Structure 1
Amino acid sequence: MAKKKSISQEDIISAYMDYVLIHNEQPKSVYAFAKDNNMEEQKFYEFFSSFDSLEQSIFKIFFDNAHAVLEKSEDYLTFDARNKLLSFYYTFFEILTANRSYVVHALGDNKSSLKYLKTLAHLKKRFTNYIEHLNIKTIDLKQDQLTKIQNRSLKESAWLQLLVTIKFWTEDTSPSFEKTDIFIEKSVRASFDLIDTTPYKSLVDLGKFLYKEKMHMS
């Protein structure tokens, strides 16, 4: 039988996800996978270097699909950072839910935290870049090095929050994963309350006042 010539990245990903869900493991080799799907092995390598890189790409594509949906919404474009992030979470987890069997397999099967984080490496790059461009208001530290540390901490804490939410979702047994929706709303609200600049600015102003008063008294 002639090999298929028109093979897209989506075709390969779909075939791979089907395989691991049916066999509960990765294909034995790229050669065997290509043969089973009636395509040239070279076609696989046009898109991916290995099955691990394919798995990383799947989660990146989940993010890209969620982001594309949001960018088409006129309402989303008018939202503040908090509501944009909430919208992202709800949309992203709808996509994860549509692919829940695969996601639970891919992440639940990774006993090693290193392997787990490696699988989500491309997702992390996409998500932390997204966070960086949300323009979340933080304290103006007026010092470049401190600002860089603050921005890096913000992205890492947001990433940790997403990881925690994914874990919560994989273990959620409520109908339609209602508890995950509640968790998302409460955790995002809490995280923005923690970085709300208003109380911090008040503390900074108080600190400056006390410092000036101390200097004046001395």
Structure 2
Amino acid sequence: MIRVLLVDDHAGFRAGLRTLLATAEGIEVADEVSSGEQALAVVGRLQPDVVLMDLTMPGMGGVAATGKLVRDHPHIRVVVLSMSDDDDSVFAAMRAGARGYVLKGARRAELVRAVQAAADGEAIFGPAIAARLVGYFAGRESAEPALPALTRREREVLALMAERLTNPQIAARLGLSHKTVRNHVSAVFTKLRVNDRSEAITRARQAGL
């Protein structure tokens, strides 16, 4: 059974979402809250598999709540469910650690698939968001990558280091073993000729990673 926490400041929308998910086999709504602060307060006790997170809420927004939730509970998957489909919102959510992004108004099958995929450790995006991502990266594919001495995986590890994730958190995020992450971190230090994480993070930010 996949346990889901709903985070949205509109009670009517939460009620509709709860009703929709109640008809899906293998999914149960563990609880619902109306703010990022409330989500962080209950997630440790509830231990949901997936959090459906709105972005725009009073107080702590969904991006900040996602970032803290993922740092403190890296095994819990966050899927953003939002009205916003602009690049800034999508990439801010991804940088914070969201494992999916679905627009409000999505069909039932799409939403259920997003919950199931996130629970299985996949990254999932609604069709509109996926098309936006493809277009974005297609426009960048010919550009030289930041810090070209690093492999793609090493750049991913460095980017997560820059988000202040620990090695175990990076391992959970990328689905790697702790030893593999340690090896990647060591390779990053060697290739960038730095002595510690702080220097590596500085190099990453200078490169716009």
TM > 0.5: no
- Which protein has the larger Cα radius of gyration, Structure 1 or Structure 2? 1
**Structure with bigger RCO (C-alpha 8 Å, 6+ apart):** 1
TM-score by length of 2: 0.29
> Greater share of helix residues, 1 or 2?
1
TM-score by length of 1: 0.28
